[in-house]
Chains A and B, each alone.
Chain A
Amino acid sequence: MNITDFSVTQLSSMIKKKELSVSEVTNAVLDNITARDKNINAYITVAAEKALQRSKEVQKLLDNGELCDSPLAGIPVSIKDNICTKGIRTTCASRMLENFIPPYNAHATELLENAGAIIIGKLNMDEFAMGSTSETSFFGAVSNPWNTDYTPGGSSGGCAAAIISGQALLTLGSDTGGSIRQPASMCGVTGFKPTYGTVSRYGLIAYASSMDQIGPIARSAEDCVACMKVISGYDPKDNTSINSTLSSFPLNKDLSGIKIGVPYEYFGNNLSGEVKKEIYTAIETLKTLGADICEFSFPISEYAIAAYYVIASAEASSNLARYDGIRYGHRSSDSVSLEDIYIKSRSEGFGSEVKNRIMLGTFALSAGYYDEYYRKALVARDLIKKSFDEAFSKYDVIISPVSPCTAPQKGQSLSDPMKMYLSDAYTVGANLAGLPAISLPCGFDGNGLPIGFQLIGPKLQDQKLLNIGQIFQKHTNFHKQVPGGEKL
């Protein structure tokens, strides 16, 4: 068995028992990248030298008896390229930030470093996290390791593709409208979007500030737990970070006493038959494990997509205005006036999907349209929050698809952006309401592409979702499937 086939928890304990050295683990991941990333393009930057250097340092710390309590000491971690890493280029997969090397760490990066994790490199994504296929990257599209003609989903497609192809053992992604959960589902791995405010956004390059959230993409829910232990917690540098402890939840043997709500509207005609079938099977499994399954109506969800795209684009139009070619980032070489610098630098620096959303957001905030679009979207957002609150007064968690279909073929989505936007229908609700949600693998379609399902929980009940995920994965093997056959 290869080193990269072990779980984070297993590796952590093997490293502490000195059955493996930190460098051996790091090298195993780096070797896989060298061998496989040509076909996948999951990485934008591989920081091999730094990683090996840090491996030695962490080994020394471990040998001196330090970092004993860290679940990630010596564990290689790869980070989505919109999360700042001090001294390592952070591009947001954009020409605009092609050469941006942050002089500071994101808070989450800092916590990983302090915990002795080894930062391997920076993962490919949709430009500025805008997209659902990881095709809008300035550094080229990411391929789905299950079938390279297909996309891995997005925007954290590099994270999910790296995990399933053994090029990463643990990754940090970001989720604004489903960007952790959807690629996790399409690559057959586990993705967790924490409660908004649980992980500091300091150093996460903003797309839509009121919804952006950092979270792990990993092989299993258990590995996500290890990551969350390190990266969650209050950060005074982020005023939206939550200063209260997460609710605890026991890791039981089964799911007896757990009430799971199944919203009708999420299983309608838009959902592909194959996906529906596998999720129903998963629901049966959950029932077998003792969960109480109830269907209910959740009509408000149909407004979620519209509200999401108005709010996210509006915030994006403002967040991305700082890329003006003045202080850092791409500046057009042939500009003659200030306005020229702005127009040319931004026209050249941003890709077309980013421009779409900046224009959409600028429009939605313009005089005369604010009330018609932005304010209405805020009202819808409030109603969606209330609907979730109401649902959680009856159910512990809500189950739903992650995406109506399995991974789309490359090139398909960009030709029909409206279809791409609509495919986020199941995931954006959790972002609008700031709720935790997990994506768990539960089967494959006829083409052998993975299918996942989503559990959404009440605010701060992150532990509950992660533990239900762990219980489900104790009784299923979907998360152990990798292209070319089951491992472990």
Chain B
Amino acid sequence: MIWETVIGLEIHAELYTKTKIFCSCSTSFGNAPNTQCCPVCTAMPGALPTLNKQVPELALKAGLALGCTVTKHTKFDRKNYFYPDLPKAYQISQLYAPILRNGHLTIFTDNSEKDIRISEIHMEEDAGKLIHDNESGISKIDYNRCGVPLIEIVTAPDFRTAAEVTSFIEELSAILRYTNVCDCKMQEGSLRVDVNLSVRPEGTELLGTRTEMKNLNSIKAISRAINFEAERQIAILRQGGKISQETRRWDDDKGISTSMRTKENANDYRYFPEPDLPPIVIEEAYLSALKDSLPELPQAKRQRYIAKFGLTPYEATMISNRKSLAEFFEKTLALCNDPKEVSNRLLGDGLKMLNETGLNIEDSFITPDKLALLIDKTNKKTLTRQQSKEIFELCFTKSIDIEQYILEKGLCPITNTDTISEAVKNTLLKHPDTVKEYLSGKTKVFGFLVGQTMRSLKGSADPALVNNILKEQLNLLQNNE
């Protein structure tokens, strides 16, 4: 029997706000424990939540970019459960009237397109962090993350392969970064993906029993976990076993998952409308202003890059999926009208340098005007390709003035015809046999002579000029004979 894997995602994205969802504490990451808390986010008696207006705004931006329908009267609900990282013993979330519903996102795999449905997007608050010290047996709680705003994006079970899932996450991350909704740093936990997976005999409609996989901290981990879980389920079913509906935890070091809790001991969350926060009414005028404020999204950019600049789909995707790269690309194009060359430089040496240095392009020293200058000089042959590549790479880690650098290093291509003539003369003298061969009609050796001349000039001469002068001198010799 051929098995089909069916996957749906629940994605938590930390919203890119300065302050928490219900109080004015900072959301910044990595500070000393419990230094970003107040009576509200630690649930002191009598404290009340007040909604950060940026939260629905960012949720709406994400939803509009994903083609969702907006719930005009949206409300918060309480999700009740006891856990030490949840000081109120309820999470303020949305169940009955989530802010957005029914969106979709197109993904691209193996040159084919597929539409993934987004069932809903809702707003909620993050919990704190527990730190267990196994040695002392003491558990500590850090409430800094408590109340950091999240949106949860829930997809329909539309995925069939790990590749589709990774493509979706890449597309989604690009959109969330473009709209400044989320920085999508999976390692820091600002984008967390839970995978719901079941299998069924291919060709059947009925969904199998699903499991939910947590603790997936990278795209690679997601991909591995999906393949592992699909195989695990298929193996069980092949042996006539039953899948138990459960939440599983992925261990990326060991490459396996283990059961966290089964459906039987799942919580009854006793959701009910949050009485401390009145319903939010989303006005049409506000919404259309928000729509207008959205930037051009990565998929639209990609299409434009292909149609207008002649980039390949791969190049267009690579550039458009990173907002900072796309911005850099477009700014450079404004200064130098050579899209193919800009794309080659960015995706070749550019990405290589970003990977090596671990920098974002906006944090490095390279700027669009520098790249444009380098391309211009190369095209005008005042820099050789090799020189221009070296300077480009240097520009990522050092703030340099290119013109000055060229002067200091004497990188100006030798355009002085006397110098070149002198070099050519020397080459001809050094290789009398080759010259003879040329004069006897073996013009193929011309290239060798150019190479030797360039070499003597350390590659810094204008090759065209070398060509011309060499030809001139050889012609002279021919005529003299």
Task: Name the 6 nearest CB pairs between A and B, nearest first.
Answer: A321-B89, A365-B270, A210-B275, A209-B275, A203-B46, A205-B45
Mark contacts of A222-263 with chain B using CB atoms, 8 A cut-off: 1 yes-contact digit, 0 otherwise. 000000000000001111100000000000000000000000
Contacts known (A204-B46, A237-B50, A366-B270); A321 close to B80, Cβ less than 8 A: yes
Counting CB contacts under 8 A, is A318 at the interface? yes
- Return the chain B residue nearest A128 by Cβ: B45
A366 to B277, CA, bound (A): 22
Instruction: Output the least CB separation between B96 and chain A (Å).
Output: 10
Contact (Cβ within 8 A) B84 A326: yes
- Return the chain B residue nearest A97 by Cβ: B45
B88: which A residues are within 8 A, CB to CB?
321-322
Counting CB contacts under 8 A, is A102 at the interface? yes
Q: Chain A residues in contact with chain B, CB under 8 A?
A: 82-84, 90, 92, 97, 100, 102-104, 106, 201-206, 208-210, 236-240, 314-315, 317-318, 321-322, 324, 326-328, 338, 342, 362, 365-367, 370, 374
A342: which B residues are within 8 A, CB to CB?
82
Contact (Cβ within 8 A) A240 B46: no
Counting CB contacts under 8 A, is B44 at the interface? yes
**Which of chain B's residues 21-63 have a Cβ closer than 8 Å to chain A?**
39, 42-51
B47: which A residues are within 8 A, CB to CB?
104, 202-203
**Which of chain B's residues 57-111 have a Cβ closer than 8 Å to chain A?**
78, 80, 82, 84, 87-90
Q: Is the interface of B mostly helix, strand, loop or mixed?
A: loop
A-B contact pairs, 25 of them (CB 8 A): A92-B45, A103-B39, A104-B44, A201-B48, A202-B46, A202-B47, A203-B47, A204-B46, A205-B45, A206-B46, A206-B276, A209-B276, A236-B50, A238-B50, A239-B51, A240-B277, A240-B278, A315-B275, A318-B89, A321-B89, A322-B87, A328-B44, A365-B271, A367-B268, A370-B271
A338 to B51, CA, bound (A): 31
A318: which B residues are within 8 A, CB to CB?
78, 80, 89-90, 270, 272
Q: Chain B residues in contact with chain A, CB under 8 A?
A: 39, 42-51, 78, 80, 82, 84, 87-90, 141, 268, 270-272, 275-278
Contact (Cβ within 8 A) A321 B39: no
Q: A239-B276, A314-B272 known; 10 other A-B pairs, CB under 8 Å?
A: A82-B46, A203-B46, A203-B47, A206-B46, A209-B275, A240-B275, A240-B276, A366-B268, A367-B268, A370-B270
- Return the chain A residue nearest B83 by Cβ: A338
Instruction: Output the least CB separation between A461 and chain B (Å).
Output: 21
B276: which A residues are within 8 A, CB to CB?
206, 209, 239-240
Q: Which listed residue (B46, B141, B270, B275) contacts A362, Cβ 8 A?
A: B270
Instruction: Output the least CB separation between A308 and chain B (Å).
Output: 14
Contact (Cβ within 8 A) B268 A102: no
- Return the chain B residue nearest A202 by Cβ: B48
A4 to B81, CA, bound (A): 49
A203 to B42, CA, bound (A): 14
B87: which A residues are within 8 A, CB to CB?
322, 326-327
A208: which B residues are within 8 A, CB to CB?
275
Contact (Cβ within 8 A) B275 A321: no
Instruction: Output the least CB separation between B39 and chain A (Å).
Output: 6
Contact (Cβ within 8 A) A239 B278: yes
A327: which B residues are within 8 A, CB to CB?
42-43, 87
Instruction: Output the least CB separation between A318 and chain B (Å).
Output: 5
A390 to B274, CA, bound (A): 28
B50: which A residues are within 8 A, CB to CB?
236-239
A201: which B residues are within 8 A, CB to CB?
46, 48
Contacts known (A240-B278, A321-B80, A322-B88); A102 close to B270, Cβ less than 8 A: no
Q: Which listed residue (A102, A315, A365) contacts B46, Cβ 8 A?
A: A102
Instruction: Output the least CB separation between A349 and chain B (Å).
Output: 13
B84: which A residues are within 8 A, CB to CB?
324, 326, 338
A366: which B residues are within 8 A, CB to CB?
268, 270
Contact (Cβ within 8 A) A100 B270: no
A465 to B318, CA, bound (A): 69
Instruction: Output the least CB separation between A432 and chain B (Å).
Output: 12
Contacts known (A209-B275, A239-B48, A240-B276); A322 close to B89, Cβ less than 8 A: yes
B82: which A residues are within 8 A, CB to CB?
321, 324, 342
A362: which B residues are within 8 A, CB to CB?
270
A92 to B277, CA, bound (A): 23
- Return the chain B residue nearest A201 by Cβ: B48
Contact (Cβ within 8 A) A365 B272: yes
Instruction: Output the least CB separation between A466 and chain B (Å).
Output: 26
A37 to B50, CA, bound (A): 39
Contact (Cβ within 8 A) B44 A102: yes
Contact (Cβ within 8 A) B39 A104: yes
Instruction: Output the least CB separation between A315 and chain B (Å).
Output: 6
A206 to B49, CA, bound (A): 12
- Return the chain A residue nearest B268 by Cβ: A367
B48: which A residues are within 8 A, CB to CB?
201-202, 237-239
Instruction: Output the least CB separation between A41 and chain B (Å).
Output: 23
A106 to B277, CA, bound (A): 18
Instruction: Output the least CB separation between B345 and chain A (Å).
Output: 52
A102 to B44, CA, bound (A): 8
Instruction: Output the least CB separation between B396 and chain A (Å).
Output: 47
A374: which B residues are within 8 A, CB to CB?
272
Contact (Cβ within 8 A) A102 B45: yes
A326: which B residues are within 8 A, CB to CB?
84, 87, 141
Q: Which listed residue (A103, A240, A321, A338) contacts B90, Cβ 8 A?
A: A321
* Residue from B44, B82, B270 with most neighbouring chain A CB atoms (10 Å): B270
- Return the chain B residue nearest A100 by Cβ: B45
A367: which B residues are within 8 A, CB to CB?
268, 270
* Residue from A97, A201, A239 with most neighbouring chain B CB atoms (10 Å): A239
Instruction: Output the least CB separation between A314 and chain B (Å).
Output: 6
A322: which B residues are within 8 A, CB to CB?
43, 45, 87-89
A238 to B271, CA, bound (A): 22
Instruction: Output the least CB separation between A420 and chain B (Å).
Output: 24
A92: which B residues are within 8 A, CB to CB?
45
- Return the chain B residue nearest A339 by Cβ: B82
B46: which A residues are within 8 A, CB to CB?
82-84, 90, 102, 106, 201-206
* Residue from B39, B45, B88, B270 with most neighbouring chain A CB atoms (10 Å): B45
A102: which B residues are within 8 A, CB to CB?
44-46
A326 to B87, CA, bound (A): 8
Instruction: Output the least CB separation between B32 and chain A (Å).
Output: 18
A370 to B45, CA, bound (A): 26
Contact (Cβ within 8 A) B45 A90: yes
A209: which B residues are within 8 A, CB to CB?
275-276
A84: which B residues are within 8 A, CB to CB?
45-46
A240: which B residues are within 8 A, CB to CB?
275-278
B275: which A residues are within 8 A, CB to CB?
208-210, 240, 315
A237 to B51, CA, bound (A): 9
A354 to B319, CA, bound (A): 61
A328: which B residues are within 8 A, CB to CB?
44
B43: which A residues are within 8 A, CB to CB?
322, 327
Instruction: Output the least CB separation between A37 and chain B (Å).
Output: 25
B278: which A residues are within 8 A, CB to CB?
239-240
Instruction: Output the least CB separation between B289 and chain A (Å).
Output: 22
A127 to B89, CA, bound (A): 20
Instruction: Output the least CB separation between B57 and chain A (Å).
Output: 16
A195 to B276, CA, bound (A): 16
Contacts known (A84-B45, A239-B278, A326-B84); A370 close to B272, Cβ less than 8 A: yes
- Return the chain B residue nearest A206 by Cβ: B46
Instruction: Output the least CB separation between B416 and chain A (Å).
Output: 74
- Return the chain B residue nearest A241 by Cβ: B48
